[in-house]
A = this chain, B = another copy of it.
Amino acid sequence: MNYCSNCGAPVTLRVPPGDQRPRHVCAACGTIHYDNPRLVVGCVPEHDGQILLCRRAIEPRLGYWTVPAGFMENGETLQQAAARESYEEALARVEIGSLLAVVHVLHARQVHVFFRATLPAAEFGSGVESLEVELFAPADIPWSDLAFPSTEFALRRYFEDRAAGREPHHFTTIDRRLKPGGGSHS
């Protein structure tokens, strides 16, 4: 952020009075601009024992496989966001089920939320953000070609829980930020 989105003047990075963190502050109009984590919401759609995956047509991770997921929009619930993304990316009308996983992706400033889901009919196709969309039997999941660590976390927990006949939710954290004083990724 370089300019104030309210008045157009340059912003400076400083700790506002009573705050503990640096924020982009406008000296002209006084607006404090907060930058907060964004929600990415998706689901694991199952049809007749198989899982619906999308191969990404966009960066990042173009060409890799993921479950339907994307940024939550204003005015919708987490479940609505997951269902919308399934339709946009896979032309699939899913029924959203229980909470599966919450992944804190610290380096991306994102919180990924995944639900279990059912795809009642084997009707799907490639949305504009997908190269192809397919149903995979558990043994055929392309583990080495998954787009994101959070995708893999959600899918692995999904199969473990399904085998155990349970539907708990899981939290985890992924952090690939540069280490202070270091030069490599963790």
Chain A residues with a Cβ under 8 A of chain B: 1-8, 10-11, 18, 20-21, 24, 33-39, 71-79, 88, 99, 102, 104, 106, 109, 111, 128, 169, 171, 173, 177
Contacts and interface: CB of A to CB of B under 8 A. Distances in A.
Contacts of A72: 36-37, 111
Given A8-B8, A77-B171, A99-B99, 10 more contacts: A2-B7, A5-B33, A20-B88, A21-B73, A36-B71, A39-B39, A75-B106, A77-B106, A99-B169, A169-B169
A80 to B, nearest CB: 9
Nearest to A177: B75
A3 B135 CA distance: 44
Contacts of A88: 20
13 contacts: A2-B7, A2-B8, A3-B5, A5-B24, A36-B38, A36-B73, A37-B73, A37-B74, A39-B111, A76-B104, A77-B171, A78-B104, A169-B169
A38 to B, nearest CB: 5
Nearest to A79: B171
A29 to B, nearest CB: 10
Contact of A74 (B4, B36, B76): B36
A82 B105 CA distance: 17
Given A37-B72, A74-B35, A4 B3 contact: yes
Contacts of A102: 78
A38 B10 CA distance: 24
B18 A8 contact: no
Contacts of A21: 73
Nearest to A24: B5
A79 B104 CA distance: 10
